[in-house]
Amino acid sequence: MKRRDFLKSTSLTGVGLAVGTTLTNCSENSKTENLASTTRSALSLPLVIATWNVPNATTKAWEILQKGSNALDAVEQGCKVEEADINNQSVGKGGLPDRDGNVTLDACIMDKNGNCGSVVHLQNITHAISIARNVMENTPHVMLSGKGAEQYAYKLGYKKENLLTEASKKKWEEWKITSKYKPIINIENHDTIGMLAIDKNGDISGACTTSGLAYKMAGRVGDSPIIGSGLFIDNEIGGCVATGLGEEVVKTVGSFLVVELMRQGKSPQAACEEAIKRIINKPNSDYKNFQVGYIAVNKKGETGSFAIHEWFSMTKFHDGKNENIQSKFIIKAK
């Protein structure tokens, strides 16, 4: 299904209880000018945003935040919804495979203290995001890859699963007839979920999980598990997650760039726009033929999103309202 049709066939959904807290003091140790100014503004909390149209995932995260749990739990649980959804062919179980028919997952997570964990090229385990969280919390490392990550998951008690569903296998078999590899703008293999949440204490966490680009080369890793590229959080400033052609995000360390631009005073929207400009202004950039999108939030709870091409969207659950918001873009779809 084309992204555009997908958007048409899904409506803006979701309701919830608005039990928002008002934040008047973000942090006891305000260290920056930026933060000093945010502490003066009132923010209705909590808040969650995610890449693409993922109302079920943001609802899950919102429910967790409403119960008073922290942003880290919210983003992990929210992402797990998409990982378990076999109809999302870009994430977790049911993800489209690489060109050899193997589903390989990339994921990372980052907390309010700047801790991070990541798994790369993980096979046979649906909930890559939970393994990434375990790497962060229970190992001395930041990243685990391939077999090591898989073995670690088994040690944690996860069971081996076949992630290649019949539907994804069929698509892969159809693809094999021509075996042409070309990133396609805004279709289902661009439904990676990146999620950012601010909890009632004003603390920010983020997560990102994907099966990566469909029919990629065996061993290919994208931006999504790379801290600073697919995701970056600085609890004093804000957070950002990326989606789209990971190779292009990595080249500009996109999410870190967006957070740094916010640190310099840009709004989340302006920071996302600037980071996209960095990609398209590269000499000989082929940006007309690939998609990259960013979503970002700052400590004030302001959000932004921007993409190269039309039809990227952000799902936002705030003040009891779950909305899918179309992003601004550079190039209009034909």
Give the C-alpha separation, 251 to 78, whole Å.
Answer: 28
Contact between 83 and ligand SD4 (CB under 6 A)?
no
Which DSSP helix (H) or strand (E) runs through 197? Answer: strand 193-198
Strand 47-51 to 193-198 pairing = antiparallel
Nearest-10 crossing angle of helices 71-84, 55-66: 150
The DSSP annotation for 31-89 comes to: -SHHHHHHTTS-EEE-EEEEESS-HHHHHHHHHHHHTT--HHHHHHHHHHHHHH-TT-T
Which of 34, 53, 70, 90 lies at the binding interface for ligand SD4 (CB under 6 A)?
Answer: 90
Sign for the CA dihedral angle at 308, 280, 105, 182 comes to positive
223 binds ligand SD4 (CB under 6 A): yes
Q: Does 231 bind ligand SD4 (CB under 6 A)?
A: no
Does 191 participate in binding ligand SD4 (rule CB under 6 A)? yes
Comparing CB distances to ligand SD4, the nearer of 26 and 279 is: 279
Question: Minimum CB separation from ligand SD4 for residue 187, in Å?
Answer: 10
In degrees, rounded to 5, the angle at the alpha carbon of residue 49 between the alpha carbons of residues 325 and 103 is: 100
What's the closest the beta carbon of residue 104 comes to ligand SD4, in angstroms? 10
Instruction: Name the residue nearer to ligand SD4 (CB basis): 190 or 300.
Output: 190
Given the residues 51, 58, 192, 303, the one annotated as active site: 192
**Is 192 a known active-site residue?**
yes
* Contact between 206 and 224 (Cβ < 8 Å): no
Of 79-87, 232-240, 243-251, 294-302, the segment contacting ligand SD4 by CB under 6 A is: 243-251
190 sits near ligand SD4 (criterion: CB under 6 A): yes
Helices 268-280 + 254-263 axis angle, to 10: 130
CA torsion through residues 250, 146, 104, 317, sign: negative
Does residue number 212 form part of the binding site for ligand SD4 (CB under 6 A)?
Answer: yes
Q: Provide, rounded to whole angstroms, the least separation between the CB of residue 265 and ligand SD4.
A: 28
> CB of residue 208 vs ligand SD4: minimum separation in angstroms?
8
Sole binder of ligand SD4 in the list 46, 117, 239, 244 (CB under 6 A)? 244
For the annotated catalytic residues, the residue numbers are 192
- Enumerate binding residues for ligand SD4 (CB under 6 A): 90, 190-192, 210, 212-213, 222-224, 243-246
